Amino acid sequence: MVRLRMVSPRSPGWSRRRAGKGFTYVDEHGDRLSPEQVERIRSLAIPPAWRDVWICPRPNGHLQAVGTDDAGRRQYLYHPVWREKKDREKFDRVLAAAETLPEARARVAEDIRRSGMPLLRADAVAFRLLDLGYFRIGNDAYADAHGSFGLTTLQRRHVHRHGDEMVFRFVGKSGIEHTVVIDDEDAIRALETMRRRRSPGDRLMAYRETTGWRDLDSAAVNSYLRDLFDGELTAKDFRTWHATVLAAAALARSDEPGSTAASRNRAIRAAVLEAAGYLGNTPTVARHSYIDPRVIDRYESGTTIGEVAWADDPDPAIRQSALESATIALLRDS
């Protein structure tokens, strides 16, 4: 295995300069790099749109490149060995947090029924929507620069009441159009208060202080999640967990696991596609960033969550709890 070296983008590094339709690459002294060095950089697939790019001179640096994207955010490309290590840690962290979801949901059930609209109730509404609707948390820079929205940047115009349901329609990341239907009574009641409040501003998610209404931002929601899970869960981790459960259920409902390589591959593609559809991601992103690979590994070895995937309990909360418990058991046994 490659022995990685910890590096910092504040240390001297290589950079690139625009040259026609491509780039030239230079070292910290401004000298052009060798063809072999350029080939390594190209293998990193640094997005052409990135600005202020720093490139690690060491092939074994844990961090290989840094740049600024169109939204002004710093982005990082890590060594594959480092990514694999961090992915394992991420999925283990998400699994540990998933085991405490029942307790967290019980507390949220209390907070979402508080009177008025204090911060705790608004945070609980955000939790419930992340849990039921698989929303992204939202980013002000993305909303401003691209007109795309997540949970905390949604505007009042993005949601309307349809009978006993709240229907969200909005453009998300990468220009993907989303329609999310929520039928949770507690969430709907709180959303109606937010949507109909008499205060300026277009944002949907908000809470009330003594001085008036304030927008609910992603920092407040993630702080609430850290408090619920002792720092073990972020808003993005919700999507990771739900993608994993969706894939586990889809694989269990597929043909007999382990029959032939072709049938296994078809089932895996279908499961990934189903999870990606719920998340609003591409199948590639869903598989490599959200679905715990151990679910797929277990399927390929002939093990799934079994008959629980076919359960048809009329209470969706009971059905979801059963799927989650079975997925946890599957992952713990891997």
* Final residue of a structural domain among 202, 228, 254: 228
pLDDT tens-place string over residues 2-16 = 899 999 999 999 999
Average pLDDT over residues 295-312: 91
The mean of the pLDDT values for the chain is 93
SS in 3 state form for 185-226?
Answer: HHHHHHHHHHHCCCCCCCECCEEEECCEEEECCHHHHHHHHH
**Is residue 108 over pLDDT 70?**
yes
Question: Between β-strands 74-78 and 159-162, what pairing exists: parallel, antiparallel or unpaired?
Answer: unpaired
Query: What pLDDT, on a 0 to 100 scale, did the predictor assign at position 175?
Result: 86
pLDDT at 139: 80
181 and 140, same domain (yes or no): yes
Pick from 14-23, 73-82, 232-241, 250-259: least confident: 250-259
Question: What range defines the domain where residue 47 resides?
Answer: 15-78
Per DSSP, what are the bridge partners of residue 62? none
Q: Give yes or no for residue 296 having a pLDDT over 90.
A: yes
- The answer on 214 and 262 residing in a single domain is no
Let me know if residue 101 belongs to a domain: no
pLDDT of residue 70: 85
Res 312: pLDDT: 78
Q: What is the CATH number of the domain that holds 132?
A: 3.90.15.10
CA distance 65 to 79: 9
Query: In this structure, is residue 60 part of a structural domain?
Result: yes
Q: Is the pLDDT of residue 86 over 80?
A: yes
Burial class of residue 271 (count of CB atoms within 10 Å of its CB; 0-12, 13-18, 19+): buried
**Same domain, yes or no: 119 and 223:** yes
pLDDT > 80? residue 144: no
Domain-located, residue 180: yes
Q: Is the pLDDT of residue 115 over 90?
A: yes
Share of the chain above pLDDT 70, in %: 97
For 215-248, the pLDDT digits (tens) are: 999 999 999 999 999 877 888 999 999 999 999 9
Tell whether 10 is covered by a domain. Answer: no
125, two tokens: 């509404």
- Look at residues 311, 314, 187, 129 and name the one whose alpha carbon lies nearest to residue 325: 311
Specify the pTM: 0.84
CATH number at residue 272: 1.10.132.120
Whether 257 shows a pLDDT value over 60: the answer reads no
Tell me, what's the pLDDT at 310?
87
CA-based nearest residue to 153, from 211, 259, 93, 71: 71
pLDDT band at 317 (very low <50, low <70, confident <90, very high): confident
Report the domain count for the chain.
3
Task: Please choose, from the candidates 185, 203, 187, 184, the residue with its C-alpha nearest in 3D space to the C-alpha of residue 195.
Answer: 203
Which three-class secondary structure state does DSSP give residue 230? coil
Task: Dump pLDDT digits (tens) for 13-65.
Answer: 999 999 998 999 999 999 999 999 999 999 999 999 999 999 999 999 999 99
Based on the fold, state whether residues 269 and 205 are members of the same structural domain.
no
> Is-contact 178 192, C-beta < 8 A?
no
Supply the pLDDT for residue 72.
Answer: 84
The pLDDT value recorded for residue 148 is 86
Q: Is residue 107 part of a domain?
A: no
Same-domain status, 124 and 202: yes
Q: What pLDDT score does 60 carry?
A: 97
Residue 334 has pLDDT above 80, yes or no: no
**Boundary residue ending a domain (195, 228, 261):** 228
| In-domain check, residue 109 | no
Q: What would the two tokens of residue 275 be?
A: 């999870």
